Amino acid sequence: MSQDLTRKTASELAQLLATKEVSAVEVTKAHLDRIASVGDSVHSFLHHNNESALATAKQVDELRAAGEPLAELAGVPIAVKDNLTTTDAPTTAGSKMLEGWLPPYDATVVAKLRKAMLPILGKTNLDEFAMGSSTEFSAFGPSRNPWDLERIPGGSGGGSSSVVASFQAPLAIGSDTGGSIRFPAAVTGTVGIKPTYGAVSRYGLIALASSLDQIGPVTRNVLDAALLQDLIAGHDPHDSTSLPESLGSMADAARAGLQPGSLKGIKVGIIKQLTGAGFQAGVTTRFEESLKLMVEAGAELVEVDCPSFEYAIDAYYLILPAEASSNLAKFDSVRFGARTMPEGNPTIERVMAATREAGFGPEVKRRIILGTYALSSGSYDKFYGAALKVRTLIQRDFDAAFAKADVLVSPTAPTTAFKFGDKVADPLAMYLNDVATIPANLAGIPGISVPIGLAPEDNLPVGIQFLAPARQDAKLYHVGAALEGILENLWGKRMIDFANELKGI
Ligand code: GLN
């Protein structure tokens, strides 16, 4: 039974809990057992919270026994990316700079999880300050892809993707600035969504690039992601960028998508610039197969042209470092975390310099230097200003594309999971993984990655990405759930069942 519980989706667990077929303590213990058996080989967690997770589970059971009303996901365990503040566990953002730092407050998303009584199992690994695509830039060592332990689980949120893919938790929270939820989801066969900018409060998220960052769910199916977004979304007076209005029920949208005929008349725009050359053959095979299945189910395909996407990576890698260099200025040896004393006279400047030299890793330093340069008076217009213009052009490309289509589609990532070491020494090669995910962040629109099977050449997961206009996240859940349902019928099993045959563990 214990083993079975870790194979269930969150909605299935919620059902079993509601009908008292299992207790929250049993569910949490099953996941803690799984963590104990595979945790070391996958290395998804930076911190474990076993005791407080069990205490929450116990409380859920007591309240249920007393007939108290509970949130739908109460008692369903979850893991949280370690760039969200938690008062009962250190929050490091994958950096030596914050090693051992215990925040004085909970992030709004964490507070919502606590209020709904989801046992929080621990904090998941990430590239330092969420900069990267592989977790190889984590100061605490990489996480591994459960499909093949020699390969990356995606990044920056490789802890959250691997935790869900390896059945250590049915749910996880990620953050996505340029793809850090969707790319890891694609390469681990999980579902990841970046909601509309502002749909989920970022209060308590350690900021990377404030005009791009968004928090979202990582799960094993679309309905679970919808249930989790419904739980964490909503206006927050602590975050002035959070949207005032509700975007509706994502769970309703996902359930509607699972009904037969739900794709009839839906216009799906294939982004010309994000298909074909540059995409691994098996990724394209699975992508085209999914499109065909959607057409058979009544969807209509149109091609859309987004010429400015060609410059998306260039614009992103100016805007992101510019904002990051400013956001990371607060790590100054005085207010947070680490302090390194220099040799010789410890003036404030020399203490700051020694701390930042020792506390930050190579990718963070690279981006601080790049961002500071892009914002310097001689380069501001030439680099940062030009990048902002490209950002506007990308937004206009999206507007034109959405005039022709309800949702847009592309593969989530150009390749399946690559091997450790393949790209870490070549920043440009690493940055290219984000080619399909970055435009959504630059425009503030929502995007989802849904698994569409395994690439024939390497048997590794492939993801499809759907994009919708801002505030229309429900469309992604509708279309994503519809395709997921069609694929499950075709395979005669769920993606989760392929994952049961994981090679590595
Ligand atoms: N891989 C991207 C980067 O390195 C995405 C980061 C993110 O979304 N946090 O910037």
In a domain, 51, yes or no: yes
* Cβ atoms of 411 and 464 closer than 8 Å: yes
pLDDT at residue 1 greater than cutoff 70: no
Measure 411 CA to ligand 1 centroid, in angstroms. 17
Candidate of 84, 125, 177, 210 to mutate for ligand 1, largest count of ligand atoms within 8 Å of Cβ: 177
* Residues in the ligand 1 pocket, defined by CB under 6 Å: 130-133, 156, 176-180, 208, 320, 434
- Residue-level pLDDT at 276: 85
The CATH code of the domain that includes 467 is 3.90.1300.10
Helix axes of 108-115 and 222-232: crossing angle, nearest 10 degrees: 100
* Cβ atoms of 296 and 430 closer than 8 Å: no
Task: Print the domain residue range for 73.
Answer: 2-264+419-502
Candidate of 134, 136, 180 to mutate for ligand 1, largest count of ligand atoms within 8 Å of Cβ: 180
> What is the per-residue pLDDT across 69-93, written as a single tens digit (0 to 9) for each?
999 999 999 999 999 999 999 999 9
* Both tokens assigned to 329: 């200025």
Buried b (16+ CB within 10 A) or exposed e, 440-452: bbbbbbbbbbbbb
Tally of CB atoms within 10 A around 130 = 29
Q: Which of 164, 158, 162, 152 is nearest to 176 (CA)?
A: 158
Name the more confident of 128 and 337.
128
* Cβ atoms of 309 and 391 closer than 8 Å: no
CB within 8 Å of 278: residues ≥ 6 apart: 414, 435
- Residue-level pLDDT at 73: 98
> How many Å apart are CA 322 and CA 209, to the nearest integer?
8
Measure 130 CA to ligand 1 centroid, in angstroms. 6
> What is the per-residue pLDDT across 15-42, written as a single tens digit (0 to 9) for each?
999 999 999 999 999 999 999 999 899 9
- Residue-level pLDDT at 199: 98
Specify the DSSP class assigned to residue 79: E
In a domain, 298, yes or no: no
> How many Å apart are CA 480 and CA 151, to the nearest integer?
26
3-state secondary structure of 276: coil
For residue 363, give the ligand 1 atom closest to its CA: 4
Whole-structure pTM value:
0.98
Q: In what helix (H) or strand (E) does residue 352 lie, and over which residues does it extend?
A: helix 348-359
Candidate of 194, 434, 441 to mutate for ligand 1, largest count of ligand atoms within 8 Å of Cβ: 434
Mean pLDDT of the chain: 96
In a domain, 86, yes or no: yes
> How many Å apart are CA 385 and CA 211, to the nearest integer?
15
pLDDT at residue 389 greater than cutoff 60: yes
> How many Å apart are CA 119 and CA 254, to the nearest integer?
24
> How many Å apart are CA 389 and CA 91, to the nearest integer?
35
For residue 433, give the ligand 1 atom closest to its CA: 1
3-state secondary structure of 340: coil
**How many domains does the chain contain in total?**
1
In a domain, 43, yes or no: yes
For residue 133, give the ligand 1 atom closest to its CA: 1
> How many Å apart are CA 23 and CA 156, to the nearest integer?
34
CA 246 to chain centre: 21
Measure 367 CA to ligand 1 centroid, in angstroms. 11
What's the CA angle centered on 242, arms 237 and 244, to 5 degrees?
A: 80
State mean pLDDT over 414-422.
97
pLDDT band at 498 (very low <50, low <70, confident <90, very high): confident
Measure 292 CA to ligand 1 centroid, in angstroms. 31
pLDDT band at 467 (very low <50, low <70, confident <90, very high): very high
State mean pLDDT over 274-285.
94
- Residue-level pLDDT at 26: 98
3-state secondary structure of 53: helix
Measure 343 CA to ligand 1 centroid, in angstroms. 35
* Cβ atoms of 135 and 159 closer than 8 Å: yes
Tally of CB atoms within 10 A around 346 = 12
> What is the per-residue pLDDT across 356-387, written as a single tens digit (0 to 9) for each?
999 999 999 999 999 999 999 999 999 999 99
Measure 164 CA to ligand 1 centroid, in angstroms. 20
Atom 5 of ligand 1, nearest CA residue = 178
- Residue-level pLDDT at 336: 78
pLDDT band at 500 (very low <50, low <70, confident <90, very high): confident
In a domain, 302, yes or no: no
Measure 183 CA to ligand 1 centroid, in angstroms. 9
Q: Is the dihedral of CA 179, 474, 222, 120 positive or negative?
A: positive
- Residue-level pLDDT at 282: 97
Q: Where are the alpha helices (DSSP H) in 360-415?
A: 362-375, 386-402
> How many Å apart are CA 72 and CA 232, to the nearest integer?
13
* Both tokens assigned to 467: 């994009």
> How many Å apart are CA 53 and CA 126, to the nearest integer?
21
Residue 124 — φ and ψ, nearest 5°?
A: -100, 155
In a domain, 344, yes or no: no
Atom 4 of ligand 1, nearest CA residue = 132
pLDDT at residue 501 greater than cutoff 90: no
* Both tokens assigned to 210: 């404030």
> How many Å apart are CA 126 and CA 134, to the nearest integer?
8
Atom 10 of ligand 1, nearest CA residue = 131
| Catalytic sites, residue numbers | 81, 156, 180
Measure 430 CA to ligand 1 centroid, in angstroms. 10
Sequence letter at residue 104: P
> How many Å apart are CA 175 and CA 187, to the nearest integer?
16
In a domain, 168, yes or no: yes
pLDDT band at 502 (very low <50, low <70, confident <90, very high): confident
For residue 317, give the ligand 1 atom closest to its CA: 10
In a domain, 46, yes or no: yes
Question: Tokens 């303590």 — which residue?
Answer: 25
Candidate of 95, 127, 129, 206 to mutate for ligand 1, largest count of ligand atoms within 8 Å of Cβ: 127
